[in-house]
């Protein structure tokens, strides 16, 4: 690989990881604000989304410059395409963190409803998936990526359990429908974040193995 291309790819990876760090912080802060009913912390998450968008634009610009200057092929071309896809998923995770923060602001106002303990478990699993998918990318580890994909089933179960409880609560107490719907929305955002982490993990497998596993779960058997 030419020396200049190697350097540009290394810089590209650093840019992507800076974006990833901001996104991880946004999700962690948004979910913490939700559990603590902290509107000030939630507003900081919303305000920070502009920086995530700026970082996504910077990553995309770097990718386009590398494509134009070096005309990479094979695995180098796959790496650039994967970085573009991961940046898109990270930006969407950032948007979902903003959605959780907005729900946190709504839930900080009366009438107050209990925040189910299961949300903390779901949050930990979801954040774990995001971090593990990015670690798999950095380490070029398709086995770790496959574990992230399998972990999405657990988050889906958490989502179903929490939503079932919220529906029951709304039936028992119609006065709490509005805040319950806000919490319902926050939980759905968490579930979607896990889906985007799954997308990143699938991209890692494509990068390392050249194998497209999205929509092909049979390709992951034994992974």
Q: Give the ranges where 117-141 is alpha helix by DSSP (H).
A: 118-139
* Cβ-defined contacts of 157-160 (< 8 Å, 24+): 158/118, 158/121, 158/122, 158/125, 159/122, 159/187, 159/188, 159/190, 159/191
Q: If we measure between CA atoms, which residue out of 199, 173, 35, 54 comes closest to residue 104?
A: 35
Count structural domains, the chain: 1
Task: Tell whether the model's pLDDT for residue 215 goes beyond 90.
Answer: no
Cβ burial of 82 (10 Å; 0-12, 13-18, 19+) is buried
Confidence (pLDDT) at 27: 96
List pLDDT tens digits, range 48-83.
999 999 999 999 999 999 999 999 999 999 999 999
Confidence (pLDDT) at 223: 46
The mean per-residue pLDDT over the stretch 120-127 comes to: 95
**Could you give the CA distance from residue 203 to residue 115 in angstroms, rounded to a whole number?**
34
The mean per-residue pLDDT over the stretch 118-147 comes to: 96
Confidence (pLDDT) at 147: 97
Half-sphere exposure of residue 51, counting CA atoms within 13 Å on the CB side? Answer: 14
**Could you give the CA distance from residue 177 to residue 175 in angstroms, rounded to a whole number?**
6
Domain that holds residue 170: 3-220
The mean per-residue pLDDT over the stretch 110-139 comes to: 94
**Could you give the CA distance from residue 103 to residue 199 in angstroms, rounded to a whole number?**
25
Confidence (pLDDT) at 63: 97
Confidence (pLDDT) at 219: 59
The mean per-residue pLDDT over the stretch 91-101 comes to: 98
**Could you give the CA distance from residue 174 to residue 176 in angstroms, rounded to a whole number?**
5
Confidence (pLDDT) at 221: 52
Give the rounded percent of residues in the chain with a pLDDT score beyond 90.
Answer: 84
**CATH number for the domain harbouring residue 40:** 1.20.58.220
Binning pLDDT at 50, 70 and 90, where does residue 2 land? Answer: confident
Confidence (pLDDT) at 222: 46
Sign of CA dihedral 73, 19, 147, 213: negative
Q: If we measure between CA atoms, which residue out of 172, 189, 43 comes closest to residue 108?
A: 43
Task: Tell whether the model's pLDDT for residue 88 goes beyond 60.
Answer: yes
Confidence (pLDDT) at 214: 78
Confidence (pLDDT) at 217: 58
Under a CB-based contact definition with an 8 Å cutoff, are residues 127 and 91 in contact? no
Task: Tell whether the model's pLDDT for residue 150 goes beyond 80.
Answer: yes
List pLDDT tens digits, range 166-202.
999 888 988 889 999 999 999 999 999 999 999 999 9
Binning pLDDT at 50, 70 and 90, where does residue 135 land? Answer: very high
Under a CB-based contact definition with an 8 Å cutoff, are residues 45 and 33 in contact? yes
Average pLDDT, the chain: 93
Q: At 10, is the secondary structure helix, strand, or coil?
A: helix
Confidence (pLDDT) at 212: 81
Task: Tell whether the model's pLDDT for residue 106 goes beyond 50.
Answer: yes
Q: Rounded to whole angstroms, what are the CA distances from 1 to 56, 74, 77?
A: 26, 11, 12
């Amino acid at each position: 690989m030419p020396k200049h291309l190697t350097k540009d790819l290394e810089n590209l990876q650093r840019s992507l990881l800076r974006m990833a760090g901001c996104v991880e912080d946004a999700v962690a802060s948004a979910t913490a604000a939700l559990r603590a009913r902290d509107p000030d912390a939630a507003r900081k998450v919303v305000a920070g989304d502009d920086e995530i968008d700026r970082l996504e634009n910077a990553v995309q610009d770097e990718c386009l410059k590398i494509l134009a200057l070096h005309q990479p092929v094979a695995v180098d071309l796959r790496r650039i395409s994967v970085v573009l896809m991961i940046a898109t998923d990270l930006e969407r995770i950032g948007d979902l963190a903003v959605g959780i923060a907005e729900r946190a602001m709504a839930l900080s106002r009366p009438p107050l409803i209990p925040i189910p303990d299961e949300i903390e478990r779901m949050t930990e699993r979801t954040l774990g998936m995001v971090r593990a998918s990015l670690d798999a990318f950095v380490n070029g580890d398709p086995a770790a990526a496959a574990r992230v994909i399998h972990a999405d089933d657990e988050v889906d179960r958490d989502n179903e359990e929490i939503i079932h409880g919220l529906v029951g609560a709304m039936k028992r107490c119609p006065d709490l429908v509005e805040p319950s719907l806000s919490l319902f929305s926050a939980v759905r955002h968490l579930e979607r974040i896990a889906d985007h982490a799954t997308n990143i993990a699938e991209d890692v497998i494509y990068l390392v193995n050249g194998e497209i596993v999205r929509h092909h779960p049979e390709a992951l058997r034994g992974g």
